[in-house]
Amino acid sequence: MMTMRLFCAVVVFAVLAGCASYDGRGLVPGKSTAAEVEGLMGVPAMRVANPDGSGTLYFPRGPYGRHTYAVIVGADGVMRGIEQRLTLENVKKLVRGETTAKQARELFGPPNRIVRAARFPVDVWEYRTLDYQEKRVLWIEFSDDGILRGVIEMHDFESDEPTGASMP
């Protein structure tokens, strides 16, 4: 039978191992290989090949995590950098009537979910984000031609703890 001390040590190790792979901590730009990236962070949810032979690997940490990490890998298979893409600065890069679905996907990575609007011919992409510890949600609307039609970014009320008097 496993002792309580050993059990706690195993749990702590598992938690630390999970945290280490969450954001790519331990990877070194200019040194770590694509194989090491995948070994630490897992299989990417999306890969984008760039014209220069480099590529971007996307690691969304949703639906409960609020980060998507993009790892840039050179044509030589060596990591160039890692970025957290679900940021307010990136939201500000979206331009209604101009940004394409392809551009948005390459900026943010794959959405947590896509919903077809009931009354309008648009697809709504949802991303859960974090801004200075405030849980937020981002909805991006694309018409059938793949052009951005609307952006809503606000506090994620669904993530709030219940308040008020408890019911008997």
Q: What integer pLDDT is reported at residue 168 of this predicted model?
A: 56
* pTM of structure: 0.80
pLDDT at 84 over 50: yes
Q: What's the chain's Rg over C-alpha atoms?
A: 19
What are phi and psi for residue 16, nearest 5 degrees?
-65, -40
Band of pLDDT at residue 1, cut at 50, 70 and 90: very low
- The yes-or-no verdict on residue 110 having pLDDT over 90 is yes
pLDDT tens, position by position, 40-74: 999 999 999 999 999 999 999 977 779 999 999 99
Q: Which of 125, 127, 115 is nearest to 88 (CA)?
A: 127
Name the residue among 15, 38, 11 with its Cα closest to residue 27: 38
Please report the pLDDT score of residue 17 as a whole number. 45
Burial 45-84 (b: 16+ CB within 10 A, else e): eeebeeeeebbbbbbbbbeebbbbbbbbbbeeebbeebeb
- Domains, the chain, ranges and CATH? 26-85 (no CATH), 86-162 (3.30.1450.10)
pLDDT of residue 10: 44
pLDDT in tens, 112-153: 999 998 888 899 999 998 888 889 999 999 999 999 999 999
Closest to 142 (Cα-Cα) out of 110, 102, 112:
102
Whole-number pLDDT of residue 128: 92
Are 108 and 126 in contact by the 8 Å Cβ rule? The answer is no
